[in-house]
Structure 1
Amino acid sequence: MTSYRPLDEGWTLSGAGYDRVSARVPGCVHLDLMSGGHIPDPYLGDNESDLDWIGKAEWTYRTTFEWHDDGSDFVDLECDGLDTLASIELNGVGVGQTANMHRRYRFAVKELLQVGTNELSITFGSVYPYTQKWQEELGARPAAYTEPYNLVRKMACNFGWDWGPTLVTAGIWRPIGLRSWSVARLAEVRPLTTVTSGLGTVDVQVRLDGEGPLILSATIGGQAAQTEIPSGHAESSVTLTVTDPRLWWPRGYGEQARYVLEVVLSDASGKRLDSWSRPIGFRSVRLDTTPDEHGTPYTLVVNEVPVFVRGANWIPDDCFPSRITRDRLAQRLTQACQANLNYLRIWGGGLYESEEFYDLADEFGLMVGQDFLFSCAAYPEEEPFASEVLAEARDNVARLTPHPSLVLWTGNNECLWGHADWGWPDQLDGKSWGSGYYHETLPKVVAQLDPTRPYWPGSPYSGSPQLHPNDPAHGSMHIWDVWNTHDYTQYRAYTPRFVAEFGYQAPPAFATLAKGEHQKAIDGALKLQRGLDAHLPPPKDSDDYLYYTQVNQARAITLGVERFRALSPICMGAIVWQLNDCWPVTSWAAIDGDGRLKPLWYALRNAFADRLITIQPDLSVVAVNDSPDRWTSRLTVSRLGLDGSKFGEMTANLDVAPRASATVRLPADVCMPGDPKGELLVAETEGYRTFHFFAEDRELAYPAAAYQADAEPVHGGMKVTVTARTILRDLCLFPDRLDPASTVDNALVTLLAGQTTTFFVRTDQSLDPAALTCRPVLRCINDFL
């Protein structure tokens, strides 16, 4: 049998005047220098720019290890992640070189090993001379940023983004070790699952190293099959079927059933040589783009059920990915589920996510769309890039086939759009820019290695090169005039088929912001201010500014989500930019860089709930039922004064089929205000309530906020009860101002006079009740009076 020995101990780091600094593998240069006390935390203050020399230096990792020959025919050095330009030596002899962070490498090293002590060294060159060389040879390519991320196969956001720092890393970022084997081994296993007419089929495709004759066998769900592999064959397959398998469903649609698939490679005598085991899921997935009277839909269909995508975009959760543990991923994906998401889109400027990420997504029922790693730039298609892209794509498509959560491959992020709208053709002057990857190379790889999943050439993309790639009526689109140039009410001007990106900024939580203010977006502060000026009263101080900008972000995204959900089934997906952050920064995220929930997260939980009532601009009420059960209830819509007086009311019976919506038109005496600055609409049904204000907050004749607030200790924290004496709009509690480790269970609560709400604050500290029940910890919009 094969055996694996990790090489994760005894490493040192040298370079840029540092010699034999203790190093951790997996890891990177920044983390090793920081843990040794040689550099400050790159996330704090202005340290990011002060540490740019790290990415411009050469660094060498070294370790020694003992080795004794166990009689295996072969020993390979397995490198799951080298970042990025690596030269590898074993006992002073060159083993190989790499130029791609996004693929795995394997080198035969038995002839270089020596009994006893061995030394392994890996030198990482700076990417800057490398990219300069290729720019001079192949010509410059346009990109969204001046850093040369499109001229090296490395995580693009290492070079900075409009939410991330420029921290150009190097190091052994995923596991490294020695694999010993004899005769033959399983070089690749790709389980391709299909479900047809109640029959689940697993076509187990394998690629082999070594010599036959061999026996390949597989088992799943009590079924077994095997095949003989003649000498000289490097590929084989075996097929298993399971009758009426339990299906893997997205969360909210059924269970996440998985079956353990075991694959064994034996020699002709039956001696086991290698094995592979993973949980897999039976489910079908396709993308419905059949033209209709509205244009070209973009509907994800799982197990022949159309699914409305309630999603968020995912970026690397840390600029230094080796710090991202399974527990941390579990926390983030749990937060995604608790926000009622069913989908994460892995953005094309980051990573092909880890096995831990996908395994958790499988378990939680979170569908995943994985971008190939191209973003906001023109990419050369000449060598050596063409071969690197092909190898990277083949490696990752094959690696991720076992995961039922992976439902879509997308060719790039905004590269097709960039070529159409950002002036690239004039700059390119006929040079390659990546179109061959998106329309030829990548779809061929997916079709060859994993035809069970759909491929889409880009995000956004309208389904045809003859159409503008960001046409709302066709395929997927991104909406960025909101935030960049327009108020968030512009979302109502769109009738999209599927929105893969839309977002609005706000600062992080107070405790996170205290680490230092970072704003990477062009004119970010001006755009935040423009949004405040359109909707809210002028902030009196920094506390007001933080609260107002966070509320404005939550309202903007709520308006967009509710608009797109109300358009179902014309629109079949809304993917918010973005779920998470990688460091402390003002950004579009719902969860900040320290893992704290911004008000936006609570807004997503409400707006993406299975059942939603929303008042749309035509003053109709839309009830959205994205649950498997019929929704019958009594709807009441009231027109009230801000002082609580009632001017009109109507009731209606709601009867909404599963996975459907219903619209209730409001009569004029209910929906037309006598005084827009002093009235609002309240729509409510059992367990659900929403509001519509006829004017902006800065114009409303609010009463001064009056309430009774009491805090008392309870098991696990504090309970804060607020009883309104007047209307209180978007009531929030920010306990991180008192205890940075604390959390709160709710936010953005609007109360009418006489109503009560209770917040639970989870903390192990004894918090001051007085501080917990007043500004700046307890806030509502009309407390400015």
Structure 2
Amino acid sequence: MHRSYRFDARAALRGGANRLTVSFRSALEYAEEMERRLGARPHVNAHPFNMIRKMACSFGWDWGPDLQTAGIWQPVRLERWTTARLAGVRPLVTVGEDGAGRVELHATVEHAGPHPGSARAATGGRPAGPAGSGDATGAGAASAGTAASAGDAAAASPAAAPPGDAPPADLLLTVTVAGREGGVRVPAGATEAVITLDVPDIRLWWPAGHGEQPLYALGVELRPGDGGPVLDSAAHRVGFRTITVDTTPDDIGTPFTLVVNGRPLFAKGANWIPDDHFLTRVTRERLDRRIGQALGAHMNLLRVWGGGRYESEDFYDLCDERGVLVWQDFAFACASYPEEEPLWSEVEAEAREQVTRLSPHPSLALWNGANENLWGHRDWGWPERLQGRTWGLRYYTELLPAIVAGLDPTRGYAANSPYSPGLPPDEVHPNDADHGTRHEWRVWNELDYTAYRDHIPRFCSEFGFQAPPTTATLADWIHDEPLTATSPAFLLHQKAEDGHGKLERGYAPHLPRPAGFADWHWTTQLNQARAVAFGVEHFRSWWPRTAGSVVWQLNDCWPVTSWAAIDSGERPKPLWYALRHAYAPRLLTVQPRDGVPVLAAVNDTDEPWTGAVAAVRQAFDGTVLATATIELDVAPRAVATHRLAPSLLTPADPTQEVLVLTPTPTPTPGPGAARAVHLFAEDRELAYAPDPLTARVTPVPGGYRIDVRAASFARDIAVLADRLAPDAVVDDMLVSLPAGERHSFTVRTAARPAPEQLTGALVLRTANALCAPAVSS
């Protein structure tokens, strides 16, 4: 599934109509057969997905269905060419110390053969099609699989006549980019060529939030040596930037910091899974919307997780255009993998093809060997079950790093996630918080979300908390009457082990036990949002010691209770709004330091953050109990902490007081920051006014404006507008208001609900109301 195939079709073609027949076996039956042949290897599934090079989550996951697809899922084409073609084009783009760009173009040339041969697949572990492997299958080749998207370089122009048997002649290879052109003569019979082109006066490509994303057209042409007509051509868009990962040991351990164009950055990201279980339904427009939602939450990185697929050209093109860095896993996840044939050759073929295919994309930031496999071998009882059999270590430590070093030396490689770089896995735990990347899953599985603060990871590449999808998405798929948290169809869409038990244990320390489904739905969604934002704010407050926060997960492939911020109906859950607040360029957050709460001001912009923060301890009814002014002076891309006066942190009645921290407008350019609130007890212990809001609805173009005013402190105000109309989306959510303050929400919808519906108890929600009697669903 993860590679393309080319067949020499000349011996099979007939004059007139031809029929191409492709026969498929069951992927599951094949995997089970390979398991019997090679010996079982541990994995986290009911099926041996680790025995076949197919998307692991095809076999079911804890957020997706067990449906093994079959078929040709990428375009198939018949190519007719003469003399020679470009079998692979690989531009390596760098920037010198003088700021000038450089393109080192590697091309693989395939010459027409003197005889037709027979129809066959590329073998011997070398990739077919556009991967630059040079496994010549001759002229007139049928191509299927990822070739259509993998190698514009492989798409040769149709020839006017069938290939002849003339001996190879000299060829001319040229490359153009940014008004510069270079060329090289390819000697007769040679299959490899390299052109190096210096490109002065380029503009740098930056991730979102750090600068612009200029892209340059790069064109490649192959001609006869005498300058005749073009035999083949290829086109890419490239961006000039440098990207490294700083893992230089320090006095804490081993950092894991992305450095783009010499600038260290905090990775604000999410993990990416296939956006639909049935991949052919994913369109460029859908991907554009999803990447837009990632950017809307101030993200700058997506991690393409190893249990899915190598994504489409559309995905990487959009990330190039919009400045989203891509952390790319190789297709290994949560399993031990045999290193014997035929898997070794298949892994080598797909890795060579995918590294070549993706190397032109400036958004591609990092290659990662696998997801959780070093961790699995260390902690999940694999050695005892393996009994000396291979489990994939040579893929991650030998084959894949060698392929990346040989084909894409402009980018870094990590052996796994989590991973402690440069350290023996038998001596340092791969999930050690002080070294490299960390996955934090004890919070979801065992601990309260406040335990995120128990560790200060160098880079947290997975963590998350579950919640059900939006009401409108549930309505599309679940038709139990009555709908409850334990109704049969609803439970079929909860794939995690003891998922509902973990949801309930997750909210129990914080929120009251809900009495009805509507309150249960809001409680679990609110708790997901709070839990994940709690972790993000903790991680960001420790920059530069902690250099990344990659939430599990951005998206869903199926209507399911999951860790996603965007459900399968493309609707944002409250978590998405919480991430937008927590990932904002400027963030105020109260964090513990040496056992005492402090104000952390996070400035992820290029301008200093100066101004004042008004700190007020007040009663829920608005009575002011203590005040202070905190002067900010936070350097660009930095964090500053400020002590809070004891009077601000010592409530007379913890059950009905709140500390409100409000930034004043900054005199320097740049975005403002949201207010921070700090409470002195959990919601279930607080004496909230259960109905603190008054609201007025005004029709506006494209929807409605809802103006709310808080008579008493209102926490986490939300407008669950999709309850009224499937297309309804609100501009903001989880806004907290002190008594006497106002806020306006805008709901976009083509529907025309009655104004009072938009302010009803099921739509206009707060955390306060969860302490009141339940409302019916």
TM range, smaller chain: 0.7 to 0.9
Checking the alignment, whether the CA contact within 8 Å between 2:449 and 2:531 is kept in structure 1 is yes
Letter in 2 for 1:436: R
How far 1:236 sits from its partner (Å)?
A: 0.7
Q: What is the correspondence of 1:304-315 to structure 2 with a 5 Å cutoff?
A: 304-315=262-273
Could you tell me which residue of structure 1 aligns to residue 598 of structure 2? Answer: 620
Q: What is the correspondence of 1:404-483 to structure 2 with a 5 Å cutoff?
A: 404-463=362-421, 464-465=423-424, 466-483=427-444
Pick from 108, 128, 148 the counterpart of residue 48 of structure 2: 148
In structure 2, how many angstroms separate the alpha carbons of the residues matched to 1:758 and 1:703? 20
How far 1:190 sits from its partner (Å)?
A: 0.3
Query: Which secondary structure state, in structure 1, belongs to the residue aligned with residue 562 of structure 2?
Result: coil
How big is the alpha-carbon RMSD for the aligned residues of Structure 1 and Structure 2?
Answer: 1.0
In structure 2, how many angstroms separate the alpha carbons of the residues matched to 1:317 and 1:125? 26
Cα–Cα, structure 1 residues 700 and 137, in superposed 2: closer, same or farther, change >3 Å? same
| 1:555-605 C-alpha deviation (Å, 9 max, x unpaired) | 001110000000000000000000000111000000001100000000111
Checking the alignment, whether the CA contact within 8 Å between 1:553 and 1:600 is kept in structure 2 is yes
| 1:319-348 C-alpha deviation (Å, 9 max, x unpaired) | 011111000000000010010000000000
Letter in 2 for 1:608: Y
Query: Which secondary structure state, in structure 1, belongs to the residue aligned with residue 22 of structure 2?
Result: strand
Q: Work out whether 1:576 is the aligned partner of 2:551.
A: yes
Checking the alignment, whether the CA contact within 8 Å between 1:333 and 1:360 is kept in structure 2 is yes
Q: Work out whether 1:207 is the aligned partner of 2:128.
A: no
Checking the alignment, whether the CA contact within 8 Å between 1:212 and 1:233 is kept in structure 2 is no
Pick from 163, 174, 182 the counterpart of residue 217 of structure 1: 174
Could you tell me which residue of structure 1 aligns to residue 125 of structure 2? Answer: none
Could you tell me which residue of structure 1 aligns to residue 632 of structure 2? Answer: 654
Letter in 2 for 1:650: A
Q: What is the correspondence of 1:277-356 to structure 2 with a 5 Å cutoff?
A: 277-356=235-314
Query: Which secondary structure state, in structure 2, belongs to the residue aligned with residue 469 of structure 1?
Result: coil
How far 1:262 sits from its partner (Å)?
A: 0.7
Could you tell me which residue of structure 1 aligns to residue 472 of structure 2? Answer: 511
In structure 1, how many angstroms separate the alpha carbons of the residues matched to 2:14 and 2:698? 68
Checking the alignment, whether the CA contact within 8 Å between 2:473 and 2:568 is kept in structure 1 is yes
Query: Which secondary structure state, in structure 2, belongs to the residue aligned with residue 300 of structure 1?
Result: strand
How far 1:105 sits from its partner (Å)?
A: 1.0
Pick from 486, 499, 524 the counterpart of residue 460 of structure 2: 499
Could you tell me which residue of structure 1 aligns to residue 568 of structure 2? Answer: 593
In structure 1, how many angstroms separate the alpha carbons of the residues matched to 2:296 and 2:33? 48
How far 1:674 sits from its partner (Å)?
A: 2.1
Cα–Cα, structure 1 residues 719 and 218, in superposed 2: closer, same or farther, change >3 Å? same
Q: What is the correspondence of 1:709-724 to structure 2 with a 5 Å cutoff?
A: 709-724=695-710
Runs of 5+ unmatched residues, structure 1:
1-100
Pick from 649, 654, 673 the counterpart of residue 676 of structure 1: 654
Checking the alignment, whether the CA contact within 8 Å between 1:705 and 1:727 is kept in structure 2 is no
Letter in 2 for 1:202: V
Query: Which secondary structure state, in structure 2, belongs to the residue aligned with residue 634 of structure 1?
Result: strand
Query: Which secondary structure state, in structure 2, belongs to the residue aligned with residue 444 of structure 1?
Result: helix
Letter in 2 for 1:692: H
| 1:653-695 C-alpha deviation (Å, 9 max, x unpaired) | 1011100011110121111222222212111103420111111
Could you tell me which residue of structure 2 aligns to residue 566 of structure 1? Answer: 541
Q: Which moved more, 1:565-574 or 1:232-241?
A: 232-241
Q: Work out whether 1:366 is the aligned partner of 2:324.
A: yes
Letter in 1 for 2:428: L
Letter in 2 for 1:116: G
How far 1:725 sits from its partner (Å)?
A: 1.3
How far 1:631 sits from its partner (Å)?
A: 0.8
How far 1:355 sits from its partner (Å)?
A: 0.5
Q: Which moved more, 1:475-484 or 1:122-131?
A: 122-131
Letter in 1 for 2:204: L
Query: Which secondary structure state, in structure 2, belongs to the residue aligned with residue 682 of structure 1?
Result: strand
Checking the alignment, whether the CA contact within 8 Å between 1:184 and 1:212 is kept in structure 2 is no
Percent of paired sites with the same residue: 53
Query: Which secondary structure state, in structure 1, belongs to the residue aligned with residue 11 of structure 2?
Result: helix
Checking the alignment, whether the CA contact within 8 Å between 2:621 and 2:711 is kept in structure 1 is no
How far 1:110 sits from its partner (Å)?
A: 2.6
Query: Which secondary structure state, in structure 2, belongs to the residue aligned with residue 204 of structure 1?
Result: strand
Q: Work out whether 1:163 is the aligned partner of 2:58.
A: no
In structure 2, how many angstroms separate the alpha carbons of the residues matched to 1:733 and 1:685? 25
TM-score (norm 1): 0.86
Could you tell me which residue of structure 2 aligns to residue 702 of structure 1? Answer: 688
In structure 2, how many angstroms separate the alpha carbons of the residues matched to 1:116 and 1:605? 59
How far 1:225 sits from its partner (Å)?
A: 0.8
Query: Which secondary structure state, in structure 1, belongs to the residue aligned with residue 344 of structure 2?
Result: helix
How far 1:706 sits from its partner (Å)?
A: 2.9
Letter in 2 for 1:783: A
In structure 1, how many angstroms separate the alpha carbons of the residues matched to 2:328 and 2:733? 31
How far 1:244 sits from its partner (Å)?
A: 2.9
In structure 2, how many angstroms separate the alpha carbons of the residues matched to 1:719 and 1:613? 27
Could you tell me which residue of structure 2 aligns to residue 752 of structure 1? Answer: 738
In structure 1, how many angstroms separate the alpha carbons of the residues matched to 2:460 and 2:769? 35
Q: Which moved more, 1:719-728 or 1:656-665?
A: 719-728
In structure 2, how many angstroms separate the alpha carbons of the residues matched to 1:763 and 1:622? 38
Q: Work out whether 1:260 is the aligned partner of 2:217.
A: yes
Q: What is the correspondence of 1:376-415 to structure 2 with a 5 Å cutoff?
A: 376-415=334-373
Q: Of Structure 1 and Structure 2, which has the larger fraction of its residues in strand?
A: 1
Could you tell me which residue of structure 2 aligns to residue 15 of structure 1? Answer: none
| 1:363-409 C-alpha deviation (Å, 9 max, x unpaired) | 00000000000000000000000000000000000000110000100
Checking the alignment, whether the CA contact within 8 Å between 1:584 and 1:594 is kept in structure 2 is yes
Letter in 2 for 1:600: L
Could you tell me which residue of structure 1 aligns to residue 139 of structure 2? Answer: none
Count of residue pairs brought into register by the alignment: 685
How far 1:531 sits from its partner (Å)?
A: 1.2
In structure 1, how many angstroms separate the alpha carbons of the residues matched to 2:375 and 2:40? 19
Checking the alignment, whether the CA contact within 8 Å between 1:188 and 1:208 is kept in structure 2 is yes
Could you tell me which residue of structure 2 aligns to residue 176 of structure 1? Answer: 76
How far 1:754 sits from its partner (Å)?
A: 1.5
Could you tell me which residue of structure 2 aligns to residue 781 of structure 1? Answer: 767
Could you tell me which residue of structure 1 aligns to residue 616 of structure 2? Answer: 638
Q: Work out whether 1:226 is the aligned partner of 2:189.
A: no
Pick from 28, 33, 37 the counterpart of residue 128 of structure 1: 28
In structure 2, how many angstroms separate the alpha carbons of the residues matched to 1:558 and 1:128? 39
Q: Work out whether 1:190 is the aligned partner of 2:90.
A: yes
Query: Which secondary structure state, in structure 2, belongs to the residue aligned with residue 247 of structure 1?
Result: coil
Query: Which secondary structure state, in structure 2, belongs to the residue aligned with residue 123 of structure 1?
Result: coil
Query: Which secondary structure state, in structure 2, belongs to the residue aligned with residue 181 of structure 1?
Result: coil
Q: Work out whether 1:602 is the aligned partner of 2:577.
A: yes
Checking the alignment, whether the CA contact within 8 Å between 1:394 and 1:445 is kept in structure 2 is yes
How far 1:638 sits from its partner (Å)?
A: 1.4
Checking the alignment, whether the CA contact within 8 Å between 1:309 and 1:573 is kept in structure 2 is yes
Checking the alignment, whether the CA contact within 8 Å between 2:333 and 2:372 is kept in structure 1 is yes
